[in-house]
């Protein structure tokens, strides 16, 4: 699983990465994390605001801070 955090590195972006890492660890998911900070790379995704969370190239949320339970729901295998 490839998880990307899109954002400049602000406190909200860092918090989103922390929550996502914690949720992945709790679920025992082996994931690769990438924090995308370059604006041209962020603009390649359909997001208007950051932070944004992308899981396996699918944008799950942008512009708000999801709860850990919400993140865990996106990470769980179907």
Catalytic residue positions, numbered: 10, 13
Contacts of 19 (CB under 8 A, 6+ apart): 65, 66, 68, 71
Taking a C-beta distance cutoff of 8 angstroms, is the pair 34, 2 a contact? yes
């Amino acid at each position: 699983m490839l998880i990307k955090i899109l954002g400049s590195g602000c406190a909200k972006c860092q918090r989103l990465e922390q929550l996502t890492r914690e949720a992945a660890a709790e679920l025992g998911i082996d994931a690769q994390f990438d924090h995308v900070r370059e604006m041209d790379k962020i603009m390649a995704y359909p997001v208007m605001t950051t932070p944004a969370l992308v899981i396996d190239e699918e944008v799950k949320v942008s512009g708000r801070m999801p709860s850990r339970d919400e993140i865990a729901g996106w990470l769980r295998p179907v």
